[in-house]
């Protein structure tokens, strides 16, 4: 897959998380800042249909996303197919995926406008839900695909195959299939390893396995995973924290590397991940932060 060259952007969309008033207010300020410099810039909610259409059609060179990590996930889903780079400005909580703080955005944006940045590629997964051999849902995944139980607090059986070969049957709350980006999200909370974000591997992490394999497994990018659900009660598949989709007994989910890649604008040196990781591991995210 070809990388995108870091060039000075001319057409910029400024997208904010609509539930955070301060994100919308800052988006207005940034848009005015860009317009005063002769650039084509507009702002809207990240869920605005016109903005989404412009991004999907390749009508912008850069998306500036204001919010938290949830906003960055949404921006990644939107921008990956058209390979639009994303600059994140933190108006949320922890900000694992975000490059710029709300108090130093001007100097950082000025650097981006001169082309003084680099682009970090983050792999995505493709998850497909099948019912009786018919595909009934498909999604691109930046963090993780989680297959498991629903509201009923009872484990499900998850028959797991790798590259068409039987691996094991987990009896667990769920199985997380994550990207390296997702290794610092739900997979980390479930005891999984932290993977460098540039890797292109697939991570399997069981959640609360009962008398089952309790170790995480790291797969090659070219591998694919099939998880078949056996249950007498509710089961679900959840993509990047979105509302879950229902699974029936003997439904299965196939997960493999996606053809799409997310490009995040970076201003720090490439070793930033490990330096920032230490500080973030000693913080708790803001309770209830959805941005």
Query: What's the mean pLDDT in 284-288?
Result: 50
112 and 131 fall within a common domain: no
Give the up-direction half-sphere exposure of residue 170: CA atoms within 13 A in the CB hemisphere.
Answer: 29
Instruction: Quickly state the pLDDT bin for 275 (edges 50, 70, 90).
Output: low
Q: Which of 27-31, 90-94, 99-103, 134-138 has the lowest mean pLDDT?
A: 90-94
The Cβ of residue 221 has, within 10 Å, a number of other Cβ atoms equal to: 13
Residue 60 belongs to some domain of the structure: yes
| Helix locations, the chain, DSSP H | 21-36, 49-56, 69-79, 105-113, 186-189, 272-281
Instruction: Quickly state the pLDDT bin for 1 (edges 50, 70, 90).
Output: very low
60-112: pLDDT as tens digits: 999 999 999 999 999 999 999 999 999 999 997 777 888 898 889 999 999 99
d(CA 200, CA 179): 7
Q: Is 269 helix (H, G, I), strand (E, B) or coil?
A: coil
β-pair type (11-16, 62-67): parallel
Instruction: Quickly state the pLDDT bin for 287 (edges 50, 70, 90).
Output: very low
45 and 131 fall within a common domain: no
Catalytic residue among 57, 61, 69, 214: 69
Residue 4 belongs to some domain of the structure: no
Kindly report the CATH number assigned to the domain that includes residue 272: 3.40.50.10330
107 and 216 fall within a common domain: no
Instruction: Enter the DSSP assignment of 117.
Output: -
What average pLDDT is seen over the chain?
A: 92
173-200: pLDDT as tens digits: 999 999 999 999 999 999 999 999 999 9
33 and 97 fall within a common domain: yes
Residue 20 belongs to some domain of the structure: yes
Domain range enclosing 247: 124-258
162 and 240 fall within a common domain: yes
Query: What's the mean pLDDT in 128-141?
Result: 97
266 neighbors 43 (Cβ within 8 angstroms): no
Residue 135 belongs to some domain of the structure: yes
pLDDT at 192: 96
Residue 289 belongs to some domain of the structure: no
Look at the block and give the residue holding tokens 């539930």. 19
d(CA 112, CA 171): 48
69 classed as catalytic: yes
227 and 131 fall within a common domain: yes
108 and 185 fall within a common domain: no
pLDDT at 270: 75
Residue 216 belongs to some domain of the structure: yes
Instruction: Enter the DSSP assignment of 193.
Output: P
Tell which residue, 80, 73, 77, 24, has the closest CA to residue 88.
73
Residue 288 belongs to some domain of the structure: no
44 neighbors 230 (Cβ within 8 angstroms): no
d(CA 96, CA 206): 22
d(CA 93, CA 286): 5
Instruction: Quickly state the pLDDT bin for 279 (edges 50, 70, 90).
Output: low
Predicted confidence (pLDDT) at residue 219 exceeds the cutoff of 70: yes
More confident residue, 108 or 4: 108
Buried b (16+ CB within 10 A) or exposed e, 141-171: bbbbbbbbbbeeeebbbbbbbbeeeebbebb
Predicted confidence (pLDDT) at residue 285 exceeds the cutoff of 60: no
Largest alpha-carbon pair distance within the chain?
63
When divided into structural domains, the chain yields a total of 2
130 and 200 fall within a common domain: yes
Residue 1 belongs to some domain of the structure: no
Predicted confidence (pLDDT) at residue 142 exceeds the cutoff of 90: yes
Q: Element (H or E) spanning 6, and its range?
A: none
């Amino acid at each position: 897959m070809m990388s995108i060259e870091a060039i000075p952007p001319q057409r910029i969309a400024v997208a904010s998380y609509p539930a955070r008033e301060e994100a919308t207010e800052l988006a207005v300020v940034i848009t005015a800042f860009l317009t005063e410099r002769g650039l084509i810039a507009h702002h809207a909610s990240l869920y605005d249909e016109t903005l989404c259409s412009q991004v999907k059609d390749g009508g912008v060179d850069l998306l500036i996303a204001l919010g938290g990590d949830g906003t960055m996930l949404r921006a990644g889903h939107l921008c990956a197919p058209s390979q639009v780079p994303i600059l994140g400005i933190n108006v949320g909580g922890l900000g694992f995926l975000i490059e710029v703080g709300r108090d130093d955005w001007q100097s950082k944006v000025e650097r981006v406008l001169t082309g003084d940045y680099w682009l970090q590629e983050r792999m995505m997964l493709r998850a497909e839900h099948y019912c009786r051999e018919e595909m009934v849902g498909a999604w691109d995944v930046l963090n993780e695909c989680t297959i498991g139980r629903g509201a009923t607090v009872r484990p499900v059986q998850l028959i797991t195959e790798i590259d068409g070969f039987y691996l094991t049957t987990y009896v667990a709350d769920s199985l997380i299939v994550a990207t390296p980006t997702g290794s610092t999200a739900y997979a980390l909370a479930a005891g999984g390893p932290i993977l460098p974000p540039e890797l292109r591997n697939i991570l399997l992490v069981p959640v609360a396995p009962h008398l089952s394999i309790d170790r995480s497994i790291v797969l090659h990018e070219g591998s694919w995973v099939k998880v078949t659900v056996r249950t007498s009660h509710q089961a679900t598949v959840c993509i990047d924290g979105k509302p879950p989709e229902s699974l029936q007994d003997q439904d299965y989910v196939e997960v493999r590397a996606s053809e799409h890649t997310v490009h995040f604008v970076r201003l720090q040196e490439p070793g930033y991940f490990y330096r920032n990781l230490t500080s973030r591991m000693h913080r708790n995210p803001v309770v209830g932060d959805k941005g």
